[in-house]
Amino acid sequence: MKQVVQSYKTGDVTLRDVPVPQCGGKRILVRNTCSLISLGTERSTIELGRKSLMGKAASRPDLVRRAWDKAKKEGFLKTWQEAMGRLDTPTPLGYSSAGIVEQCGTAATEFSPGDRVACIGQGFASHADFVSIPVNLACRVPEGVSAEEASFGMLGIIALHGIRSANLTFGSRVVVMGLGLLGLLTIQMLRAYGCEVIALDPSLDKIELAKKYGFQQVTTDTEELTRLSDTFTGGYGADAVIITAASKDRGPVDLAVQLCRPKGRIVVVGTADIHPDRNELWLKEIDLVVSKAAGPGSLDPLYELEGLELPIGEVRWTQKRNLQEFLRLLADKKVDVQPLITHRFIIGEAESVYAQFIAGKLIQPIGVLLEYPSNTIIERSLPLPASQAKSNTSKGHIQIGVIGAGLFGKALLLPALQKQSGVSLHTLVTGSGASVEHSARKFGFANQATDSASLWSNPDVDGIVGITPHSQHARLVSDAIQYGKALFIEKPLCTTEEEFNALKALATQATSLPILFVGHNRRFSPHAVQMRQWLASRQSPLVMQMRINTGFVPASHWVHSDDEGRSRVVGEMSHFIDLIQSLAGALIVRVSAERISGDNRTSVNNDNIAISFKLSDGSVGALIYSASGDKAFSREALEIFFDGKTITSKDFRLSEFHHNGKTDTFKTRNQEMGYLEELKHFTDCVSGKDSIAVPPTEVFATMAVIFGIERALATAQVISLDMP
C-alpha cells in the first residue's frame, strides 16, 4: 500500500510502498476512501523537521537538558545514538480520514466488515491506503453523510472540544479569532448551539466564505472587531474568545483579554504566544484555557490503545462521543463542510501536493483531501529493492529475521546486529508499515512485513531476534519452541507466573529445545568478563552488594501496566539477577525482599526495594534497587568481597580489583554494556561456531527468582526456590 511519511531528521515528505498493518484485537482495519490534510498541524510538523539540528534543539530545550544529563551518566556515544534514532523515526502524516472496515479484531465487536467509519488520531488515521484504528478512535458514519464530510472528523472534534472548554450557555456572545478550517467549523457549531458569533481573520477570502455561511459580524480589522464586540455585547464584552488562529506573537491573546467581559474565558485552540499582562487578567478575573486536542481520552494510552471508555456519568463528552456528535451535526446539516473543500488529489500525487503546499503554491487552500483507490490488495510482506538490502546470498551466512523495531532496538540492537559478520538480515517485521519500511531499508533487510506468522515457518530463516513489548515475549518463546527456531529476545522471558508455568510445561514436553536466548547483555560486557577473570581462582563464597539508581518513572507509565510491562521488578530486575549469578557461577536459591511504604505516586513503592539473596555455592548478597535518587548520579555500582580481596565496578566504565594493597584497573572510554558481544554469541550459536553460554535451565531459573522476589515483597517471607 502507499503511505505518506515525513522524515523528522530531514523534513522530507515522501510517498512510500509499505506493508498493510495488522488489524489487532482491539482495532479495525480500514480501507481509506479519503483523508484530510490538516494544513496548520502538518505545516508545523514539516517545518520543525526541516530545521537544522541546532534549530530542533532550540525548539525543544527541555529535551536537550535531558539528553545532557543522560550523556553525563551513560556516555556521549550511547546518548547520541539514541537521540539520532529518535530523529530518524519516520512520522506518518495525517490524523483524520474516512473509509470502509475491512477486518475487525476479536474485541472490536461494535464494528463489522463493510461499515463506513470516520477515523481520527495522530499515528492512526494517516494518509495511507489502509489504517489500523483503535475502537475508541472510530465511529460509524450516519446515512446521508459522505466519506468526504466524515473525513473532517478530527478537525471537527478539535473545534468542538474548544467550544466545550469555553463553558458556554445558550445565547452566549463569542468572538472567534481565525477563520481557517478550525475557525470556520467553530463558528458553525456555535450557531448550531444557539450562540452569537463575532469573528476576525486577516484574509478577505475567509471573511467572504464566512459571509456565505450567513455570518455578518465578521471583519479583517481588529479595531472594527472591537466595535462589533462592544455593539453586540451591549458594551459588556464577549462571554468567551476562542483563538483558532496560528500566531507566534502575543497579539491574539492580548486582544482577547481586551474583548472579554469580566470573568469571561479565553480558549486557545490554535497556537499563540501566551504571555498576557497579569494585571489585565487579574482586573477582569479572566480564565485562560489551552484546549487539549479532541477531548477527554486524547493521548491517554488506556483510552486510545486499550479501548477503555470513560463512564458517561463522570465524563459526558469524551473524544469518541465528540466524534459521534460531530457526525450528528453533519447528518442534521447543522455543519456544512462541502464549501470548505478547496482541493482534491489522488494519493499518488501526495509528494507533489506537499511540495506545492510548503512552497505556498496551492491556491487558497482550506480543505485539502487525498483520495484512495478501492482495489488496493492487502499485502503484509514485501521485498525491498536489492540495492537497498545487504547481500543475503553469501555462502555460509546465516539468515536472521527480526520482530520489532522500537527506539531501543533501532538505537542499539539493530546496529549491533548489522555489524555481525556472517549474518544476513532476511526480514524485519513490525506492526507499522511506515516504520518497517524505513527501518528495513536503513538496516539492509531483504524483506519487510507486518505479519510475523510466515517468518516462523520460513525454512530460509535460521534464527529470530525479538525486540517487542514485554507482553509479547511469552508468545515469541512459545512460537520458538513450537517451530524449533532459535530465538533471541530482550528481557524478560515473560511477564506473569501463568505464562511462566505454561512455558515450563511446553519446554518439558518438547523433544528438544531450540536456542532460547534472553538479552541479559551485562554478563557479556567486557567489564563482566574481566571480573570473572579476577574471580577465577577464588576459594571462598562471595559477599556481594549491588546498587541500582534506576531513575523515577511515574506510576502511569507502561512499565507498571499489568497488560504491558507488569512492573520494573519483572521488566528490568532479571538483568541484575543474571549478572549476579554469572559472576558467582551459581544460582540464587533463596530470596527475601522489602519495599518502601510511600505514597506510591511521588515514590513508586515497588521501584524502591531491598533484596537479600543466597546462592547455591554459599555466597550471599544484597541488591538495592531505587527510583528515588538523582538521575545524574551513577546508575549501577557493584562490590564483591572474597579471600581478602575486593572488586568494585561502576556503570560499566570503571572496574577495579583491590588485592594485597594494590589496585588493578579496567577502564573503558564509554559504557560497555555488552550489546554487541551478546549478539555475536547468539549468532555464533546459531551458526554452530559456539555453544550456548546460558542453558534453558538457567534462563528459567533466573525468571523463577523474579517471581520469588514478587512473592517475598507481597508476603514479607523468605522464599526458597527449587533448583532446576
Instruction: State pLDDT tens for residues 17-34.
Output: 999 999 988 999 999 999
43 pLDDT exceeds 80? Answer: no
250 pLDDT exceeds 50? Answer: yes
673 pLDDT exceeds 60? Answer: yes
Q: Which CATH superfamily is domain 2-152+301-371 in?
A: Medium-chain alcohol dehydrogenases, catalytic domain (3.90.180.10)
Structure-block grid coordinates of residue 426: 532476511
Distance separating alpha carbons of residues 622 and 645, to the nearest angstrom: 18
pLDDT classification of 722: cutoffs 50, 70, 90 = confident
pLDDT classification of 391: cutoffs 50, 70, 90 = very low
* pLDDT value at residue 51: 62
4 pLDDT exceeds 80? Answer: yes
Taking Cα atoms as reference points, which of 372, 405, 434, 449 lies closest to residue 119?
372
Distance separating alpha carbons of residues 299 and 294, to the nearest angstrom: 9
Taking Cα atoms as reference points, which of 142, 138, 141, 154 lies closest to residue 26?
138
396 pLDDT exceeds 80? Answer: no
321 pLDDT exceeds 90? Answer: yes
pLDDT classification of 41: cutoffs 50, 70, 90 = confident
CATH class of 522-720: alpha beta
**What number is the average pLDDT over the span 583-593?**
97
**Per-residue pLDDT tens digits for 57-91:** 555 565 666 666 656 555 565 566 566 666 667 88
**What number is the average pLDDT over the span 200-226?**
95
The answer to whether 327 and 143 have CB atoms below 8 angstroms apart is no
Considering the entire predicted model, what is its pTM?
0.83
| 3-state SS assignment for residue 36 | strand
* pLDDT value at residue 393: 47
56 pLDDT exceeds 60? Answer: no
The answer to whether 267 and 158 have CB atoms below 8 angstroms apart is no
* pLDDT value at residue 141: 98
CATH 3.90.180.10 domain span(s) along the chain: 2-152+301-371
CATH level 2 (architecture), domain 163-290? 3-Layer(aba) Sandwich (3.40)
387 pLDDT exceeds 70? Answer: no
CA angle 709–635–467, rounded 5-degree value: 70
**What number is the average pLDDT over the span 500-517?**
94
579 pLDDT exceeds 90? Answer: yes
DSSP line for 597-609: -S-SSSS-GGGSE
| pLDDT, mean over the chain | 91
pLDDT classification of 392: cutoffs 50, 70, 90 = very low
pLDDT classification of 386: cutoffs 50, 70, 90 = low
Q: Which CATH superfamily is domain 381-518 in?
A: NAD(P)-binding Rossmann-like Domain (3.40.50.720)
DSSP state of 363: S
**What number is the average pLDDT over the span 119-127?**
95
* pLDDT value at residue 52: 59
DSSP line for 452-464: -HHHHH-TT--EE
* pLDDT value at residue 394: 56
Q: Identify the weakest region by mean pLDDT among 106-110, 275-279, 496-500, 530-534.
A: 275-279
Q: Which residues of 167-199 are buried (b: 16+ CB within 10 A; e: fewer)?
A: ebeeebbbbbbbbbbbbbbbbbbbbebebbbbb
